[in-house]
Structure 1
């Protein structure tokens, strides 16, 4: 028995002495411009105040996760009206304007000049439904005993609309995203629900008093397709059958050096925002 203890102690010392620090080299891509240009016109407001955020990509293990871009030139042009909106730098990566004029159906072009190169992107401001109805229930989701929040709206007939629906629970770090094409709801009333089911990752069902922030946007087909890739890649990450992740390239094009791509997206949307508290 004593010899057995000696062997165990010897193995413990051997294991401790063989502990090495392993440095893993993570491949780093070239630094890229990152464009966060979401010009969202909330119904009931003028939509004049808008912000574009510019930064550069950072290495995965970098301490500084946000690297703001300073000194860039940013403007948005209404191509239908030939009007120009200049975004002023706030010296923190944000570029703002208080004079933007959103017009449904008009096409807008973003122009960013950074480090001697010009990036452009084009989007059309898509229409949105007039109102939405928000309710709660227990019969629309997977668990008949779990609360869910429902968003209902009437899709206009024959317009080929696309929607972006976002739910953000007060307890969640990330929102729940839905990309919607009216192919199967054209001209009809449609309802979409958000339900949380308890699991091993400490997710808890909705309870009375919980708050959910809701946003419904009218978007372009191009942005719908971008969201589909984004959401599908996020939701399938880490599963045995998940596809190989690929960089998502938005609609911002480098006019001077096409190989020096930019990340991010320029969108112009009409949006309804509201919140719901479970009863």
Structure 2
């Protein structure tokens, strides 16, 4: 995040009482490591997991797909979901819809090395209303997608947001928890980290209810990018020194338009 965006967020913390507090890898001299991107959700029957290896910083791509891995997910009722390789490191299961409350275990084998993680899928916290908020900060107008809801009391809740502008790709936008507003009515203000929202823009917000480990990963990622230090790798929740993360989330999309 650049200095302008950091300033915007600082101002919002003062103005909005309900606010809370592309993965960049430090690969200049690092040895190649397995990278696992496993974001599963209940939005579809089709689940995708990407397995790759980190490569040199100055190479044309920052990772290369692994095509000879063994990938599966097992739930706490002993159902096993094997994933089949398709292309570019992506492994697919086409008839798997996770269920809130169940625990899922990821197992990946790459050249006899095993990588594992587990996640209990949270239920979805319903949104009461959505909208667009307009804020004047440092003499300029900024727009934010807003989602207002009642946070469940005495339950730790964690939220990840991604954003698409005008049918563009979805990018990580924000990670939030209920650490300071447990049980309260909450409004989350969502904007793109790289592009200001403008009049006429159509935006799609994806809201993931995730477990604490997935939240910790993305919160560390966003904190690294706010700071002036060179961004490092967020701490993975996958074993054996892998990069990346495993999450099974409840998900819903919200479509909004700015202005008329």
Please tell me the TM-score bracket, short chain as reference.
0.7 to 0.9
Match of 1:73 among 61, 70, 75: 70
Shift of 1:247: 2.9
Taking the aligned partners of 1:123 and 1:140, their CA distance within structure 2 comes to 40
Residue equivalent to 1:28: 29
List alignment gaps of at least 5 residues for structure 2.
Answer: 1-26
Q: Tell me the alpha carbon deviations over residues 7-64 of structure 1, each in whole angstroms, 9 at most, x when there is no partner.
A: xxxxxxxxxxxxxxxxxxx94211111101110222xxxx321011111111111124
What are the equivalent positions in structure 2 for 1:1-279 lying under 5 Å apart? 27-42=28-43, 47-78=44-75, 80-139=76-135, 145-170=141-166, 175=171, 177-194=173-190, 204=196, 206-207=198-199, 209-236=200-227, 239=228, 242=229, 245-254=231-240, 261-279=241-259
Change (3 A) 1:174 1:52: closer
Larger Rg: 1
1:247/1:120 CA distance change after superposition, 3 Å: same
Q: Tell me the C-alpha RMSD between the 2 structures.
A: 2.7
Range 180-189 or range 101-110, more displaced? 180-189
Rounded to whole Å, the distance in 2 between the matches of 1:217 and 1:105 is 15
Which SS does the other structure have where 2:186 is aligned?
A: strand
- Structure 1 stretches lacking a partner, 5+ long: 1-25, 255-260
Shift of the 143–206 alpha-carbon distance from structure 1 to 2, 3 Å rule, reads farther
Deviation at 1:234, TM superposition (A): 1.1
Structure 1 position 171, deviation (Å):
9.3
Residues in 2 aligned to 1:204 and 1:162: alpha-carbon distance in whole angstroms? 25
CA distance in 2, matches of 1:176, 1:211: 17
- Residue 249 of structure 1 contacts residue 262 of structure 1 at CA under 8 Å; is this kept in 2? no
The structure in which a higher percent of residues are strand is 2
Task: Provide TM-score, normalisation by structure 2.
Answer: 0.79
State the distance in 2 between where 1:71 and 1:154 align: 45
- The Cα of 1:139 is off from its aligned counterpart by 4.9
Deviates more, 1:166-175 or 1:59-68: 166-175
| Change in CA separation of 1:176 and 1:251 when aligned onto 2, cut-off 3 Å | closer
- 1:134 and 1:140, CA in 2 relative to 1: closer, same or farther beyond 3 A? farther
Query: Against the structure 1 CA distance between its residues 38 and 147, is the aligned structure 2 distance closer, same or farther, given a 3 Å change threshold?
Result: closer
Deviation per CA, 1:166-219: give whole Å up to 9, x if none: 33434988845222221322222211223589xxx9x65521x11222011111
CA distance in 2, matches of 1:55, 1:268: 20
SS of alignment partner, residue 42 of structure 2: strand
Aligned residues: 233
